[in-house]
Amino acid sequence: MSVYDFKVLNNKGEEVSLEQYKGKVLLIVNTATGCGFTPQYKGLEDLYLKHHEEGFEVLDFPCNQFAGQAPGSDEAIHEFCTLKYNTTFPRFKKINVNGKEESPLYTYLKSQKKGALGSRIKWNFTKFLVDKEGNVVERYAPTTKPEDIEKDIEKLLK
């Protein structure tokens, strides 16, 4: 099993198979628009622009589970991110990352790499790095800035 076995909904509600990202390095992030870490959108976009041509993708999954910090509709979240941070990477439908209604993708990601709280996601902007074969190779805490992950991304792109 790999991340390629999952289907998710894009921010327009259309089903997307993650198989379309086969052969690419992925950074999967649960995000929020009203969080202290929200400025990380700039760092994520910088990484995306710098390495996209080499086969790198940022997959953005907004999540409102942590202090209600992503309260808007999928459309409002997308508008906020594109206007305030000029993001161009793929954004998906808002999801839950913990609990009974958590996304199956996140159940899988968490089973592959534990964090400080075991498998539970601690907060917004937890990041999972996935290699070109769809294997989860690293999990980063919300406090880890996108630019601090760049060396790991570059190793996987080679």
Q: What is the pLDDT of residues 116-146, one digit of tens each?
A: 767 889 999 999 999 999 999 999 999 999 9
Q: One-letter amino acid identity for 139?
A: R
Average pLDDT over residues 89-95: 97
Count of CB atoms within 10 A of residue 68's CB? Answer: 9
pLDDT class of 62 with cuts at 50, 70, 90:
very high
Give the per-residue pLDDT at 117.
Answer: 67
Query: Quick check: 4 pLDDT over 90?
Result: yes
**Cα–Cα distance, 59 to 143 (Å, whole number):** 18
The pTM of the full predicted model, rounded to 2 decimals, is: 0.96
Which architecture does CATH list for 3-157?
3-Layer(aba) Sandwich (3.40)
pLDDT class of 105 with cuts at 50, 70, 90:
very high
Q: Beta strand pairing status for 15-17 and 25-31?
A: unpaired
Q: Which residues are catalytic?
A: 35
Looking at per-residue pLDDT, the higher value among 112 and 117 belongs to 112
Segments making up each domain of the chain, as ranges: 3-157
**Cα–Cα distance, 92 to 74 (Å, whole number):** 8
Query: Quick check: 115 pLDDT over 90?
Result: no
From residue 18, give the alpha-carbon distance in Å to each of 32, 35, 92, 94: 22, 27, 11, 16
Q: Tens digits of per-residue pLDDT, 21-61?
A: 999 999 999 999 999 999 999 999 999 999 999 999 999 99
